[in-house]
Amino acid sequence: MRTIEFTDTEFMIAQGARLIEDGKTIFVGWGIPQVVAMLAQKLYVPNVTQLFEFGAIGPQSVLPFVRGTMGGPQNTYRSLQWLDMNWAFSYSATGYMDYGMLGALQVDPYGNINSTHLGGTFASPMRRFAGSGGGNQVASHCWKTIIVIKHEGRRFVPKVDFLTSPGYLDGPGAREKAGLPRGTGPHRVVTSKALFGFDGETRKMTLLSVLRGISVEEVVKDMAFRPLLAPEIGEIPPPTDDELRVLREEIDPDRFIIRGEKMSATA
Amino acid sequence: MTIDRIRTEGEMEYRFTHPDDFRDHVRDRKGRSPVPKLVTEKEAVAAFVSDGDYIVYDFSSLTRGPQSLIREVIRQRKKELWIGAEFTLHESPLLVGAGCASRIDVGFLGYGNYIGQAVCDGRVKAYEWTNGGLALRILAGARGVPFLPTRDMLGSDNMKVSAAKTITDPYTGDPVCLVPALNPDVAFLHVHQADVFGNARIFGTNLFALEAALASFRVIVSAEEIVETDEFRKDPMRTTLPYFLVDAVVHAPFGAYPGAMPARYEIDLEHVDRLNAIRTDERMGRYLEENIYSVADHDEFLDRRVGAKRMRELRRRATIIEGYR
């Protein structure tokens, strides 16, 4: 029995990378989702086609990860096609994007994302953040949206302070009623402790599995809403040696992205 | 369209021009004759940017952004600008910090605490169009139509804090989002190559370079390199903008500094970290003084604040040239 030491961020990125399917397309948001897609492409899914919102189609980003930017030569290296934003969102709007992957400030039981402000009102917020970027389009158009978010209780709220990018809005059928493309919506919520899906009937967030060694109670106790629980809660292994090596040596040697709270679990 | 088809309407003010008014401007004010338009940043901004103007730019603060033009706008202390901000990591905080911008259509509101605090304090108004919505508004402006429909923004709070509308689509009967055309007063586009008439080339991805040039009343191109017109005629697939869209051409080597120009020079991360670390008005003031107000123009900025050695180093780091030429 061997103990693996890692950060909560490393676990979040690694378990996110394991979800991506080979031979599919994925619309990748700015920041952590870029790193998840890089790790996945390097270790698991050589034939995934990534798409960035400014029109990089099929990039094979150069490692190490260049933080802060997305549009530079490193991140758009050896793309299949270089275009612009109106064309990029055409690929998602017509249904060619299997997955979308986004970060979030807050998420609610229906997978609605807030990335605009916390507290106060829109006109007079307590704290103001970047806003949608292209997240609204990704969450609206892609067949399955994966949300990547740190497992901090205050981020899981009964109702988001501002609905930036749509999940299932206020329940079953709401997306279609609002005019969003049929059959789309949030698919998984990847956190630094657990993995959630969405119940097919109620569209509510459902705990699917937890990091090995963590109890269900530990995962749900500080969330501001109680998620549904899958009939059987799975166990997610910690980051593998390969995942940690690629993250630490190849993707982020300066540890700008992967630093975080220290954790351990048995391999 | 009858009014009862409108289901929801955003409440915020928005910039709008009737397509015929824009066409009149193009007929009467945009020259078709290929005349040399080479001017300095100072001349271009003085002639083509006025207080109260709506400005858009392409691409991002870290990649091929029109930074020398933005700095000149600040140097000339323009006021009450309204900016369409997509990948605006540094332009928004600098323009707001310098007292130049009072309204921002977002996009993506970067970067960090300074601009966020300015919104909280009510020093600048932000309206939420989303990146896709703003790009579509500019496309509508470029297509000469008053609006375009889209199947996003729907169901989100962005609908309320923009001027997007939901209507019943006359073809499907489903709800659909409409965004109004945007015809900015000025577009700033930093390009790899231009000729003196305004034909211009960008290598790599962009946000909406051609759409912004078509949709805007005035277009200022800044170029790393000035080339002969024949270069465009030899390889017309690579032309991003034809000359008649462009009002002024500025020769601006290192015009995207401290961001990168793909295949020409890399990001100056140290300088970018200094920008990202600005949290207070005092720090903002010091940055503006040192890098903008205390130098006469872009050449002097490069010469005295960046330096030949640093520029050589940033050029040396731009090792990826595949795909760019």
Residues B235-261 have pLDDT tens digits of 999 999 999 999 999 999 999 999 999
Q: What is the largest CA-CA distance in chain B?
A: 65
How far apart CA A78 and CA A59 sit, in angstroms, is 6
Taking Cα atoms as reference points, which of B148, B146, B124 lies closest to residue B136?
Answer: B148
Please give the full DSSP string across B131-189, using - where no structure is assigned: HHHHHHHHHHHHHT-SEEEESSSTTSGGGTTSS-EEEE-TTT-SEEEEEE----SEEEE
Q: Sheet of A205-211: strands edge to edge?
A: A81-82, A56-57, A49-52, A25-28, A99-103, A144-148, A185-190, A194-198, A205-211, A228-236
pLDDT of A251 over the 90 cut: yes
Give chain B positions within 8 Å (CB) of A164.
Answer: 128, 156-158
Write the CB contacts of A198 (distance below 8 Å, at least 6 apart in sequence): A110, A111, A168, A185, A186, A187, A204, A205, A206
Give chain B positions within 8 Å (CB) of A123.
Answer: 122
pLDDT of A22 over the 90 cut: yes
Q: Determine the pLDDT at residue B243.
A: 98
**A136·B156 Cβ contact <8 A:** yes
Write the CB contacts of A74 (distance below 8 Å, at least 6 apart in sequence): A61, A62, A66, B320
- Our CA-based measurement puts residue A130 at a distance from the nearest CA of chain B, in whole angstroms, of 4
Give chain A positions within 8 Å (CB) of B122.
Answer: 123-124
Write the CB contacts of B168 (distance below 8 Å, at least 6 apart in sequence): B5, B7, B174, B175, B176
Q: Determine the pLDDT at residue B308.
A: 98
Domains observed in chain B: 3-317 (3.40.1080.10)
The rounded mean pLDDT for chain A is 96
Length of chain A in residues, anyone? 267
Give chain A positions within 8 Å (CB) of B156.
Answer: 132, 136, 163-166
A92 CA to centre of own chain = 17
Alpha helices (H) along chain B: 19-29, 41-48, 67-75, 91-97, 113-120, 131-143, 209-215, 230-234, 269-276, 281-288, 298-301, 308-317
Q: Determine the pLDDT at residue B5.
A: 87
Give chain B positions within 8 Å (CB) of A178.
Answer: 154-155, 175
Report, as ranges of residue numbers, the positions in chain B whose pLDDT lies below 70: 1-4
Nearest CB to A140; choose among B116, B151, B157: B151
Q: What pLDDT, in 10s, does the model give residues B14-26?
A: 999 999 999 999 9
How far apart CA A178 and CA A185 sit, in angstroms, is 13
Taking Cα atoms as reference points, which of A31, A40, A82 lies closest to residue A59?
Answer: A82
Q: What pLDDT, in 10s, does the model give residues A76-114?
A: 999 999 999 999 999 999 999 999 999 999 999 999 999
Q: Give the CB-side neighbour count of residue B96, counting CA atoms within 13 A.
A: 32
Nearest CB to B131; choose among A85, A120, A174: A85
CB-count exposure of residue A60 (10 Å: 0-12, 13-18, 19+) = middle
Nearest CB to B128; choose among A54, A132, A140: A132
Q: What pLDDT, in 10s, does the model give residues B282-293?
A: 999 999 999 999
- The confidence band for A1, taking pLDDT boundaries of 50, 70 and 90, is confident
Selected residue of B61, B109, B152 to mutate for chain A interface (largest A Cβ count, 10 A): B152
Taking Cα atoms as reference points, which of B308, B286, B289 lies closest to residue B299?
Answer: B308
Residue B211 · residue B139 · CB < 8 Å = yes
Residue B107 · residue B141 · CB < 8 Å = no
Residue A238 structure tokens: 């910690």
How far apart CA B278 and CA B298 sit, in angstroms, is 22
Predicted-assembly ipTM surpassing the 0.85 threshold? yes
Q: Determine the pLDDT at residue B112.
A: 75
Selected residue of B205, B210, B271 to mutate for chain A interface (largest A Cβ count, 10 A): B205
- Our CA-based measurement puts residue A72 at a distance from the nearest CA of chain B, in whole angstroms, of 6
How far apart CA B51 and CA B42 sit, in angstroms, is 15
Nearest CB to A136; choose among B115, B120, B130: B130
Judge if the upstream peptide bond of residue A44 is cis by omega within 30 degrees of 0.
no
Q: Determine the pLDDT at residue A254.
A: 92
Q: Count the neighbouring beta carbons within 10 Å of the beta carbon of residue B286.
A: 13
Determine the residue of chain B that is closest to A119 in CA distance.
Answer: B120
Interface of B with A in 29-88 (CB under 8 A): 59-60, 62-64, 86-87
**A180·B267 Cβ contact <8 A:** no
Residue B91 structure tokens: 């332009």
Domains observed in chain A: 3-266 (3.40.1080.10)
Selected residue of A137, A159, A160 to mutate for chain B interface (largest B Cβ count, 10 A): A137
